[in-house]
Amino acid sequence: MTRLRRVGLALFAPVLAVLVAAVISSAVMAALQVDPVRVFQVMFDFGSTPDEQVTALVVILNRAIPLFLAGLAVAIAFRMGLFNIGVEGQYRLATIVAAAVGAAIVLPGPLHVLVIVLVAMAVGALWAGIVAVLKVTRGVSEVISSIMLNFIALGTASYLLTGPFRGSAPGASIVATKDLPESGWLPGINGVFSALGLVSPPRELYGFLPLAIIAGVAISVLLNRTRFGFDLKASGMSPSAASASGVDARAMVIKTMLLSGAIAGLIGLPDLLGKTHSYTTDFTAGLGFLGIAVALLGRNRPGGIALAALLFAFLDRSLVPLQIASYPASVVTIIQGTIVLAVVIANEIARRIARRQAERSSVLPAAAGPGAGGGGPGTGPTTPADDTDERQGAQA
Amino acid sequence: MMKTAALLLAGSLALAACASSQNNSSASGSSSSGSSAGGNLKIGVAYDTGGRGDKSFNDSAYAGIQAAVKQHGGKFTELSPNADASNRADLLTQLADQGYNPIIAVGFAYSDVLGGVAKQYPNVTFAQVDGAAAALKTQPAPNNFTGLLFAENEGSFLAGVAAALKTTAGHIGFVGGVDTPLIKKFEAGYIAGAKAVNPKIKIDSQYISPAGDFSGFNDPAKGKIVAAGMYDGGADIVYHAAGGSGLGVFKAAAAANKLAIGVDSDQYQTVGDPALQAVILTSMLKRVDNAVQKFIGDFVDKKVTGGKDVINDLKSDGVGLATSGGKIDDIKTQIDQYRAKIISGEIKVPVTP
Amino acid sequence: MATPGALPGSTSGGPEPGGTSTAAVPYAVELRGITKRFPGVVANRDINLRVRRGEVHAIVGENGAGKSTLMKILYGMYRPDEGTILLDGTPVTFRSPADAIEAGIGMVHQHFMLADNFTVLENIVLGSEPTRGGRLDLGEARRRIGEISERYDLGLDPDVLVETLGVGDRQRVEIAKVLYRGARTLILDEPTAVLVPHEVDDLFGNLGELTREGLTVIFISHKLDEVRRVADSITVIRRGTTVGTADPKTTTARQLAEMMVGSELPSPETRESTVRETPVLRLQHVTVTTPEGRAVVDDVGLVAREGEVVGIAGVEGNGQAELVDAIMGLRRLSAGTVVLGDEDITAWSTRARREAGLGFIPEDRHRQGMLLEAPLWENRILGHQTRPPAVKGHFIDRRAARADTERIMREYDVRAPGPDTLAVALSGGNQQKLIVGREMSATPRLLVAAHPTRGVDVGAQTVIWELLKDARAAGMSILLISADLDELIGLSDTLHVMLRGRLVATLDPARLTPEELGGHMTGARTAAGAA
């Protein structure tokens, strides 16, 4: 089995999903008497001046960073078969507490940022930990409890914002926590553009980007290269086999949810540290739910999630030019929706193809050395094709 | 099995998340007409969440722009923010990049980003409905920015006058959505107006939700409970400044067979239910359309100074009372007298109760 | 008939036992020259098969001989590249199992496909729910199921939950499910693999009812004694093709075996004792209770020494699975102690137990032994996450894991393209050999082997038996739980019988027949012996 083939197979599903989504949404657009070709042209039009183009890039990247983190948080739990629907509440609560703590302390620059990041991760982890504890001790489905905890988290965040953490002047239309002191800001990194010989756009590229990349790589290594990741993956594939192999299922649920929540805690930070510097009534909401779609599209792999986040960010940016070009912004909504559906379909197709290939490839060596067994019972030839009945039956 | 179900659930949640943005997207309309001097006018408008079709500010702003385009010619493009309203800055910068000028942002939520954008495009003129220059993050406010504010207290004063003249019990009420300084402004004007007519009048005041909890603007059930309490207590006219919760106030009025006063738009026209129309005495109008139209007119005439706010008051027809339904036609003269006194400065309407 | 067997009992389609049929009556099922190729391999070559209506026709052959492929062709899962299928003399083409079901062919799979939390009735109608005016009409279904159960003596209660049923009952539900869909020809794939002797008898009784009612049964097996007991005629398949037919009345098991593999059947027997003095595992008063407080393992005590195979016999569902779970730390004890070597491991986690030298061949390899969707090298790591060679500190050593997987594949004869193959692609025997190899590689002090040869072919069975014998000789202690009485008697040094959660008898396997053991398992013997 060549590496190329495996990579190809891994890419197959998302590419298929995007294609299917493009076709379906084109059909819908055509039905609405909107020219799909023109729509896609507008979506890919990043502007005429280098300034505009780089700005478009920054807009997409800035949007992709929180989406990536949200997808990552969801995917960690997904990988072990846990559905952390509560990412939304986890990051909202984490962000407001981190904003309040960050505003209340004064520390030298990097340390200040570090404290804010750690506080956010801790709060997210704790909130997700409630879900885990309920599941482990009381058997409460994490889907239910995390949805419920979302409501509680949003209510709590709103209480904190208007109560103890209120920093805005009375009478301000937007209620906000106190602004972070400048030492708690994460400056933009537009330097990369100059370094790459591009124009430095007027918009700041979030300084959180490298941190998000580090988080992605760390999670990738953790999931794929460590014992913990193996236990997590095994628990996701077969809880019974995992516990028979010595994985403590309860501890695993707790650890996984804590990790997922910790990453969820990061979601609000790119905006908080790079733009708003406070949590406000107007703070970006809904990223936790988008994260589910992003994780699905990225097939729960950090690399895939990064691509999915970029795609979603790209679609989001195209909302504005589409409206300027007098196209309905709902086109983008249609595409996003169809992508999510197409992903589910494409994943299933890819999984079946992968399986069929595996079955086929395992038939081959039996053909290569069939006579070797020669009929002696001790070395009886075993054609693996023979044991496929239960699988076929399961599909039938 | 379980996995598939959960996957579908997750998918539908994600879809729901996506779908919610549908509400915010609106068809972009551009119309060009007229052959007057301003024919090359390119107006950009960025709505608040909700987009056009909200029967409120966004629609009102749209009406003003339409009127302006009719008057001065040119064309306009309208944008709505995405589902989580995270792209407000993009809306403004893209409009600016495309050469739109002036650009009008609707809603105070743009305060966070507008200062920076205005600074980035010094040659573009920006206006913000309900936005104060002092609220911008960039201070001092750039001189290409104009805040379009409203003297809600003056309009509410007239609502108070109407209520005091119409009450038979000598007892009226006020329901505020959320206990914020802005809504206090409504309350202050209303009380002052009522007391001007009848210093001994009894006025109940109540807020649906405390500061910071914005549910009070969108909780008709609670609005109904609060208003019903006032009607039970003897009040026969209740003025609400409670957004969507106002519907509950009207329902309480209908149930008690009493009267109510609407707010922001002419609610007699928008409420869409004859039974509720019957209880709407009048509405305190916040003429976003007039303000926007006037601002564009000033822009065409190069009279925009910028860097500060324009207060749309009674004098500029920025606020007023609706007459639909004809229930205040008989007291029109008295109301107009008070209007004239406010415009002339003879009466100073307070902003805090 | 392609290859007339050279054996005395074999025929070439001539007069058949019970041959009242004449040439005018077409065969219920007839396959002519069926050939099925997969890329690079011919799974079936020139298969010829004739099945009379109303008979039990056995298809025997080693796993890998092509039986399952053949059945999948007959059940519409595969389409043959050459050849024709005739039902009652009429050529048919199946595009899917739905076509086959339509034509009256039903399949009872080796692994049951029932929803545990549904009732028997719901399971049977699942997928072909009767409706009236768009609404579920269970009344009609209940009537028909009652009728089927009555007619074929299946003894089904439509309203019990399947999860409460034993293996034999579940199998009858599967059979009823097929009959409910109107099958006239039933394919049973290794139906006895999961049954204990008396359940096998019950099954054969049911098959008799079916054929008496004119139904046809195609019975796939490699258990020759059973085949000879139940079949009216036998077709033997070897290496993808039919090598002959045989009359069960005149053919011995040995002759059949020779047709199948060309040599004698292997024997699990180990006679020389290698038992040493040092106890490895000591169970004292081990009790496991259900949440409702019922003791499923009741005061069990046993000792397993170095070099000893301790067998646990018993009808399935008498607490063996729970006992295994208790030893592996997968289930909490409500009383008693588990001692490994000198250490009381009662409170230890599964991982700690494994690290301390417990190896585990689980009863259900798909549920507990493998990650089917994962490659073989990851399956090599499973259960050994904390030990070399696959792991370095907290990190997975992919290269070492792959290399060691290749070694296991080589040494334990696991037939697969490579360590990156998904486990799901392997045959049951190869999966099991990988599990055995994996567990042996850690040289455990005690190996808990639950049904180590269940569902694997004769070749793999022999390999696994040899491995267990070698390990025993090397001083490993083995706790063997099995339903295969020959295996138990042949391999064990000490044999305990488990009944209703208790160890009711300790027997000497050297002087024990399967029949005697069967008696102990059902409780008849013990009572007599105690009296």
Which chain C positions have a beta carbon within 8 Å of A367's beta carbon?
A: 40-42
Contact criterion met (CB < 8 Å) for C362 and A387? no
Residues in chain B: 353
Query: What is the CB neighbour count within 10 angstroms for residue C405?
Result: 28
Distance to chain C for A357, nearest Cα, Å: 9
Tell me which chain A residue has its CA closest to the CA of residue B10.
Answer: A292
Chain A neighbors of C417, CB-CB under 8 A: 1, 361-362, 364-365
Smallest CA-to-CA distance from C468 within C491, C489, C451, C485 is with: C491
* pLDDT band with cut points at 50, 70 and 90 for residue C261: low
> Quick check: A280 contacting B, CB < 8 Å?
yes
**Which residues are paired to A353 by β-bridges?**
none
Residue B5 lies in a domain: no
Residues of A with Cβ-Cβ distance to C448 under 8 angstroms: none
- Measured between CA atoms, how close is C19 to chain A, in angstroms? 33
The superfamily in CATH containing domain C279-530 is P-loop containing nucleotide triphosphate hydrolases (3.40.50.300)
Confidence of residue B303 (pLDDT cuts 50, 70, 90): confident
**pLDDT, tens only, C145-177:** 888 888 888 888 888 888 788 778 888 888 888
Asked if B112 lies within 8 A of A282 by C-beta distance, the reply is: yes
> Testing the interface with A: which of B22, B86, B123, B215 to mutate, by most A Cβ within 10 A?
B86
E-assigned strand segments in C222-294: 233-238, 241-246, 279-289
- Confidence class of residue C530 from pLDDT cuts 50, 70 and 90? very low
**In this structure, are B58 and B203 located in the same domain?**
no
The residue among A199, A315, A323, A332 with the most chain B CBs within 10 A of its CB, best to mutate, is: A323
Query: For residue B3, how far is the Cα from the chain centroid?
Result: 47
Position B174 in a domain: yes
Whether residue B270 sits in one domain with residue B138: no
Query: What's the Cα-to-Cα distance from A289 to each of A69, A265, B5, B80, C65, rounded to whole Å?
Result: 12, 14, 17, 21, 52
Q: Is residue B317 situated within a structural domain? A: no
User: Using a CB-CB distance cutoff of 8 angstroms, which residues of chain A are in contact with residue B28?
Assistant: 323-328
Q: Is residue B243 part of a domain?
A: yes
What's the average model confidence in pLDDT over C432-441?
Answer: 88
Task: Answer yes or no: are the C-beta atoms of B97 and B121 closer than 8 Å.
Answer: no
**DSSP-H helix ranges across chain A:** 3-31, 36-44, 50-79, 87-104, 109-133, 142-162, 191-195, 208-225, 227-237, 239-244, 249-266, 269-271, 287-297, 302-324, 330-368, 389-395
Structure tokens at A115: 């404290």
Q: What is the average per-residue pLDDT within A71-85? A: 92
Main-chain phi, psi angles of B204, to 5 degrees: -90, 135
More confident residue, A361 or C393: C393
Q: What is the mean pLDDT of residues C295-311?
A: 89
Chain A neighbors of B15, CB-CB under 8 A: 293, 337, 340-341
SS3 annotation, A96-165 = HHHHHHHHHCCCCHHHHHHHHHHHHHHHHHHHHHHHHHHHHHHCCCHHHHHHHHHHHHHHHHHHHHHCCC
User: What is the bridge-based pairing of β-strands C216-221 and C56-60?
Assistant: parallel
**How far apart are alpha carbons C206 and C194 in whole angstroms?**
16
Token pair for residue B197? Answer: 């007519």
Q: Tell me: cis bond preceding A270? Omega within 30 of 0 counts.
A: no
Q: Look at residue A193 in the predicted model and tell me its pLDDT.
A: 83
> Distance between terminal CA atoms of chain B?
62
Local structure of C525: helix, strand or coil: helix
- Average pLDDT for chain C: 81
How far apart, in whole angstroms, are the C-alpha atoms of residue B131 and residue A282?
15
Minimum distance, in Å, between the CA of residue A378 and any CA atom of chain B: 40
Of A238, A355, A380, the CB nearest to C62: A380
* CA gyration radius, chain A: 24
- Write the residue in A175, A290, A337 that is nearest to B212 by C-beta: A175
Do B240 and B185 fall within a single domain?
A: yes
Given a cut of 50, whether residue A314 has pLDDT beyond it is yes
Environment class of residue B138 by beta-carbon count within 10 Å: exposed (0-12), middle (13-18) or buried (19+)? middle
- Closest by Cβ to A296, choosing from B10, B26, B108: B10
Task: Examine the pLDDT at C128 and tell me if it is beyond 80.
Answer: no
Cβ pair A354:C422 closer than 8 A: yes
Residue A395: CB atoms within 10 Å:
9
Q: Which residues pair with C313 in a beta bridge?
A: C497
Residue A71 has pLDDT above 90, yes or no: yes
If you average pLDDT over each of A110-124, A312-326, C493-507, which comes out highest?
Answer: A110-124
> Can you tell me the distance from the alpha carbon of C160 to that of C116, in angstroms, rounded to the nearest whole number?
10
List the beta bridge partners of residue B45.
Answer: B78, B104
Q: Identify whether residues B238 and B249 lie together within a single domain.
A: yes
User: B79, A59: Cβ pair inside 8 Å?
Assistant: no
pLDDT at C267 over 70: no
Q: What ipTM goes with this model?
A: 0.75
**Is C179 within 8 Å of C148 (Cβ atoms)?**
yes
Structure tokens, A210: 């490298």
Residue B38: is its pLDDT beyond 90?
no
Question: Which residues from C are below 8 Å from A389, CB to CB?
Answer: 68, 71-72, 109-110, 189
User: Does A226 sit within 8 Å of C113, measured CB to CB?
Assistant: no
Residue B327 sits at φ, ψ, to 5 deg, of -80, -15
Q: Is B48 an 8 Å CB contact of chain A? A: no
The whole-angstrom distance between A288's CA and the closest CA on chain B is: 9
Does the CB of B83 have a partner CB in chain A at under 8 Å?
A: yes
**Min Cα–Cα distance to chain A from C34, Å:** 16
Say if strands C494-499 and B42-46 run parallel, antiparallel, or are unpaired.
unpaired
CA distance B154 to chain A (A): 19
Full strand arrangement of the beta sheet holding C105-108: C10-11, C241-246, C233-238, C56-60, C216-221, C185-189, C105-108
* Chain centroid to CA B167: 26
Helices A249-266 & A227-237, crossing angle to 10 degrees? 110
pLDDT band at A385 (very low <50, low <70, confident <90, very high): very low
> Does the domain formed by C53-79+96-261 have CATH 3.40.50.300?
yes
Residue B13 lies in a domain: no
CATH number of the domain encompassing residue B235: 3.40.50.2300
Per-residue pLDDT averaged across C184-203, rounded? 81
Kindly identify which residue of chain A lies nearest to residue C112, measuring between CA atoms.
A390
Is the confidence at residue B325, as pLDDT, over 70? yes
**Helix, strand, coil percentages for chain C (3-state, nearest 5):** 35, 25, 40
How many other C-beta atoms can be found within 10 angstroms of the C-beta atom of residue B108? 21
Q: Cα separations (Å) of B69 from A261, B42, B287, B320, C493?
A: 51, 9, 17, 24, 100
- Determine the Cα angle at C2 with ends C1 and C5, to 5°: 85
The rounded distance, in Å, linking the Cα atoms of B336 and B325 is: 18
Please indicate whether, in this complex, the C-beta atoms of A166 and B212 are within 8 angstroms of each other. Answer: yes
At residue A383 the predicted structure's pLDDT band, cuts being 50, 70 and 90, is: very low
Cβ contact C459–A366 (<8 Å): no
For residue range B53-63, list pLDDT tens digits in order.
766 778 888 98
Mean local confidence (pLDDT), B212-241: 88
Q: Which residue type, as a one-letter code, is found at position C17?
A: P
pLDDT tens sequence across A344-371: 777 778 777 776 766 655 544 443 333 3
In which residue are the tokens 């704790």 written? A126
* Nearest residue of chain A to residue B7 (CA atoms): A344
SS3 B33: strand
> What do you get for the CA distance between the two ends of chain C, in Å?
58
pLDDT at position A45 is: 83
Residues of C in contact with A388 (CB under 8 A): 68, 72
Least CB–CB distance from A340: residue in B6, B11, B25 = B11
Q: Which of A237, A241, A389 sits opposite C72 (nearest CB)?
A: A389
> How many domains, in total, are found in chain B?
2
Which other chains touch chain B, taking contact as 3+ CB pairs less than 8 Å apart?
Answer: A
Q: How confident is the model at residue A125 (pLDDT cuts 50, 70, 90)?
A: very high
- CA–CA distance, C335 with C319 (Å, rounded to integer): 15
CB contact under 8 A, A340 and B29: no
B9, B31, B49, B84, best to mutate vs chain A, most A CBs in 10 Å: B84
- The confidence score (pLDDT) of residue C307 equals 86
Is the residue at B16 inside a domain? no
Closest listed residue to residue B124, CA positions, set B143, B147, B148: B143
Q: In what order do the strands lie in the sheet with C90-92?
A: C41-51, C29-38, C82-87, C90-92
CATH architecture of the domain with residue range A52-325: Orthogonal Bundle (1.10)
Most confident of B171-175, C245-249, C269-273, C413-417: B171-175
Pair B144, B176 in one domain: no
CA distance B168 to A155: 42
Q: How far apart are CA C105 and CA C110, in angstroms?
A: 16
Contact B11 A293 (CB under 8 A): yes
- Three-class secondary structure of residue C378 per DSSP: helix
The verdict on residue B136 lying in a domain is yes
Say whether C396 and A367 touch across the interface (CB within 8 A): no
- Mean pLDDT across C508-531: 66
pLDDT at A310 (0 to 100): 92
**Contact between B185 and B216 (Cβ < 8 Å):** no
Q: Are residues B146 and B161 in the same domain?
A: no
Cα angle, residue C363 at apex, residues A235 and C438 outer, rounded to 5°: 65
Minimal Cα–Cα distance from A360 to chain B, Å?
26
On the question of a cis peptide bond just before residue C375, with omega within 30 degrees of 0, the verdict is no
CB atoms within 10 A of CB C208: 15
**Interface touch B15/A337, C-beta < 8 Å:** yes
C 477-516 near A (Cβ less than 8 A): none
Q: Report the percentage of chain C scoring pLDDT > 70.
A: 87
**Distant-in-sequence, close-in-space partners of C244: CB < 8 Å, separation ≥ 6:** C1, C3, C4, C5, C7, C10, C12, C235, C236, C259
Delimit the domains of chain A by residue range. 1-34+328-352, 52-325
A-B Cβ pairs (cutoff 8 Å, strict): 152
pLDDT tens, residue by residue, C364-382:
888 888 888 888 889 888 8
Q: Do B248 and B156 belong together in one domain? A: yes
Average per-residue pLDDT in chain A?
Answer: 81
For residue A391, give Cα distances in angstroms to C68, C95, C177, C253: 12, 18, 19, 31
pLDDT in tens, C10-45: 444 444 444 444 456 788 889 888 888 765 566 788
Find the domain containing B174 and state its range. Answer: 152-286+323-344
User: Average pLDDT for residues A53-78, to the nearest whole number?
Assistant: 92
Q: Which segment, B128-142, B173-187, B221-235, C184-198, is predicted with the most confidence on average?
A: B221-235
- C-alpha to C-alpha distance for C176 and B165, rounded to whole angstroms: 85
- Asked if C446 and C357 touch (Cβ cutoff 8 Å), the reply is yes
> Which tokens hold the place of C400?
């070492």
Do A389 and C385 count as a contact with CB atoms less than 8 A apart?
no
Segments making up each domain of chain C, as ranges: 53-79+96-261, 279-530
The A residues from 89 to 118 touching B (CB cutoff 8 Å) are none
Query: Are A280 and B112 an interchain contact pair (Cβ–Cβ within 8 Å)?
Result: yes
Shared domain check, B159 and B221: yes
A211 versus A10: which is more confidently predicted?
A: A211
Write the Ramachandran bin of C509: left for phi over 0, alpha for psi from -120 to 50, otherwise beta: alpha
Q: Which position has the higher pLDDT, C518 or B17? A: C518
pLDDT of residue A74: 94
Report, in this order, helix, strand and coil percent for chain B, each rounded to 5. Answer: 50, 20, 35
Stronger pLDDT, B11 or C392, i.e. the higher one: C392
| pLDDT, tens only, C211-230 | 888 889 998 887 777 888 88
Q: Please say if the pLDDT value at position B36 is more than 50.
A: no
In this structure, is the dihedral angle defined by the CA atoms of residues C228, C234, C238 and C243, taken in order, positive or negative?
positive
| Chain A from 183 to 222: CB within 8 A of any B CB | 202-203
3-state secondary structure (DSSP) of residue B172: strand
Alpha-carbon distance C298 to C116, whole Å? 26
Least confident piece of the model among A384-388, B2-6, B73-77, B266-270: A384-388
Considering only residues A72 and B351, tell me which one the structure prediction assigns the higher pLDDT.
A72
Q: Among A21-25, A376-380, B277-281, C408-412, whose mean pLDDT is lowest?
A: A376-380
C82: left (phi over 0), alpha (psi -120 to 50) or beta: beta
What share of chain A has pLDDT > 70, as a percent?
85
Pairing state of beta strands C335-340 and C343-344?
antiparallel
Which stretch of C206-215, C333-342, C387-396 has the lowest confidence by average pLDDT? Answer: C387-396
